[in-house]
Amino acid sequence: MDRLVNTVRPYAWGSTTAIPELLGVAPSGTPQAEMWMGAHPGAPSRTGRGPLDELVAEDPVSELGRATVARFGPRLPFLFKVLAAGAPLSLQVHPDLDQARAGYAAEEAAGIPFDDPRRNYKDPHHKPELICALTPFHGLCGFRDPAEAADTMAALDVDSLKPYVDLLRAHPEEAALREVLTAILTADHAELAHTVTEAAHAAARLGGAHTAYARIAHHFPTDPGVLAAMLLNPVTLQPGEALYLGAGVPHAYIDGLGVEIMANSDNVLRCGLTPKHVDVPELLRVVRFEPGEPGILRPEASASGEEVYDTPIDEFRLSRYVRAADAAPTDLTAPTPQILLAVDGALRLRGAGTDDGLSLDQGESVFVPAGEKTELSGRGTVFRATVAA
């Protein structure tokens, strides 16, 4: 097993304190948004044997296991992160596998460079993801009932929002959501800015159910994404609760600390709350206009003490162990690669070549190659990221 040294990404929306507190280091004063654990070429974890992406490339079967390579190719199929949002992330969706393959092939054929802001598809993979809260975590997930969205907008008492309110109340659900989102994203931004500003002031004044939208508008005071956000369900996760985000589901994280696991892809289509490129026609092709309540996941405990977050995806599997000091050691040996992250306590790992054990304290992580003997002991909470069997 390999102790990981991970890159922390300083995106502007990151918290200045949450990740340093987890790692037990002094804040730098700059945003610390995401700590990446894995073999993504953009920021591979480092080990005593070298960068993890190079280790996988040199001997994928030894590192990933024969079954994982047969299913997903010679690449670690997931990326594991600690995510610390101090401000809202962009409102976005991810394509399904067929859409990603087709979009990537089309952009390759068109010769669009990877660093071109018009490029939507950086790879031919989908990007389902799971976020699990470590602190109270606020976000937006999926379309709400159009009638509820209409009521939210109507309560703001902004005259220029009334056409959207009427559309939401007059059409079938999916058609209503499509028509209003299209209208918001294709409107002249300069003309819409006054409406967004009025709506933001009203949301701040009303509070309550409008609080999430006022918080977003504080950071993006004239962005049309503020209005698009009102079509979505506000969600608050308590520590240990999670959200699974499949293809075509619009979402945004607002604030909080969590662990996130996703299929190893960079494919994102943005629809607001960002200065980056928004490809409206492609976005509308990918979005699934299906209203419904976001399903909050709670872990299901097994006899071994492993608490699993059940998701309908093969590229990743997330679970956790919450251990008491007197708990018997747990065998974590698996035929798939795994990354273990401690979020509190003082834990210990034993395995091949580590007779004295390897400490795993808060904020520390390790990579365990497929099939390597691994035993967990000690007190604390550890998250386990691996591939679905």
The set of catalytic residues is 270
Task: Tell me the CA distances in angstroms from 69 to 1, 62, 74, 88, 96, one per residue in order.
Answer: 19, 10, 5, 36, 21
CA distance 305 to 376: 12
Helix or strand run (H / E) with residue 367: strand 365-368
Decide the pairing of beta strands 242-245 and 354-361: unpaired
Residue 52 CB contacts under 8 Å (≥ 6 apart), including other chains: 2, 4, 38, 39, 44, 45, 46, 76, 367
**Tokens of residue 246, six digits:** 């499949």
Q: Give residue 50's region: left, alpha or beta (phi > 0; psi -120 to 50).
A: left
**Tokens of residue 48, six digits:** 């005593």
Whether the Cβ atoms of residue 14 and residue 32 lie closer than 8 Å to each other: yes
**Tokens of residue 309, six digits:** 């977050």
Buried b (16+ CB within 10 A) or exposed e, 72-100: beebbbbbbbbbbbbbbbbbbbbbeeebb
Residue 80 CB contacts under 8 Å (≥ 6 apart), including other chains: 36, 37, 38, 259, 260, 261, 339, 341, 365, 385
Comparing C-alpha atoms, which of 288, 297, 293, 292 is closest to residue 317? 297
CB neighbour class for 357 (10 Å; exposed up to 12, middle 13-18, buried from 19): middle
**Tokens of residue 205, six digits:** 């004044």
**Tokens of residue 289, six digits:** 């206009």
